[in-house]
Amino acid sequence: MAVIAPSRRIRRTPFTDGVEAAGVKGYTVYNHMLLPTVFRSVEEDYRHLKTAVQVWDVAVERQVELRGPDAARLMQMLTPRDLRGMMPGQCYYVPIVDETGGMLNDPVALKLSEDRWWISIADSDLLFWVKALAYGYRLDVLVDEPDISPLAVQGPLADDLMARVFGDAVRAIKFFRFGWFDFQGVSMAVARSGYSKQGGYEIYVDGTKNGMPLWNALMEAGRDLDVYAGCPNLIERIEAGLLSYGNDMTRENTPHECGLGRFCSTQTAIGCVGRDALLRVAKEGPTQQIRAIAIDGEIPACDQIWPIVAKGKRIGQVTSAAKSPDYHTNVAIGMVRMTHWDEGTRVEVQTQDGPMTATVHENFWI
């Protein structure tokens, strides 16, 4: 594997010093920024995530801030999820679609107040889409990227660690809610959320200069909890069916194909720019959909689309895959046509190392 060349264009985060001190071994690039992918080994990180607590540099989840009288209107233009019932203090997972219903991003939105929102984005320059919409519609809204960098605390001991740093009140935060908590005199949004199914929090660290002090405070407070630096874990996120924008879904796909229909209320999401395009698919359902795929044998790294084939015909593709220690199979995420998406369907996956047999499942492992 080739090394990643250093340049200012690939931005360091407020936590990169801590990440490097912890011995990061691999990076990917996400929103023009460094995202760690492995510390000790993907398997060791996986086991540790499921048993202890990790601190994740997820500053790559940049925020798109909407502020002003038209902020709520603009927010609803972006997504087929109906936002009318959303209250300040709530987080919503919101598929973002273009005028054809194609996915542009799959962020978590935080409603700070009626006229102020943060969109915590996946890997695409959503800012460009939002700014141009605001401009084209002459909306009264400020759209910008603030100096906010999420730091995740994930794992079964996350509550204990967070309580030591932010106080016991963090334990009361409900899933996909956030509250405001002080760290060294700076108020920060703390949400119960994160890109794993091991439980935990995301701290929206306000101000680059506050990054390393908080990182160090968490590491210090969690010594006897076996805290360590971590990152979104490829194996665990596939077991959990957590999709990755750019990997498992792109602009080619509707939210319904991505299995995100439950987050769409297309009929009532009035103002969404993709609403017209999605009404029909929302009613009739998609012709292909995300599925869990169990692949037999020894697989290489999934760095490209793997076609899924049945009786010589292409019926889908695998886009993420990893060997799972806990489930004794290769866990994978794929998009499968409706003719072959039923539980237990046997298919063939064509990797760069040759064809492998596989089974389609309707549910993910975790």
How many chain residues bind its own copies (CB under 8 A)?
Answer: 48
Q: Which position among 46, 92, 129, 183 is part of the footprint of its own copies (CB under 8 A)?
A: 129
Q: How many Cα atoms within 13 Å fall on the side-chain side of residue 258?
A: 28
Q: Does residue 123 interact with its own copies by CB under 8 A? A: yes
Q: Which of 15, 27, 204, 364 binds its own copies (CB under 8 A)?
A: 27
Q: How far is the CB of 38 from its own copies (least distance, A)?
A: 7
363 binds its own copies (CB under 8 A): no
Q: Buried b / exposed e across 168-201, counting CB within 10 Å, b at 16+?
A: eebeebeeebbbebebeeeebbbbbbbbbbbbbb
x/- map, 144-183, its own copies, by CB under 8 A: ----------------------------------------
Q: Looking up tokens 């389609």, which residue turns up?
A: 360
Rounded to a whole number of angstroms, the minimum distance from the CB of residue 237 to its own copies is 11
**Which of 259, 261, 230 is CA-nearest to residue 243?**
259
Q: Which two tokens stand for residue 10?
A: 């690939």
Residue with tokens 């023009």: 32
**9 binds its own copies, rule: CB under 8 A:** yes
- Using CB under 8 A as the binding rule, the residues of this chain from 57 to 96 that contact its own copies are none
Closest CA to 288 of 252, 315, 249: 315
Site string for its own copies, 284-313 (x = CB under 8 A): -----------------xxxxx--------
Check whether 145 is labelled as a binding-site residue.
no
Task: Give the 3-state secondary structure of residue 289.
Answer: strand
DSSP 189-237: EEEB--SSSS-EEEEEEESGGGHHHHHHHHHHHTGGGT-EEE---HHHH
Residue 337 within binding range of its own copies, rule CB under 8 A: no
- Interacting residues toward its own copies by CB under 8 A: 1-10, 12, 24-29, 32, 37-38, 98-99, 104, 123-126, 128-133, 135-137, 244-247, 273, 301-305, 319-320
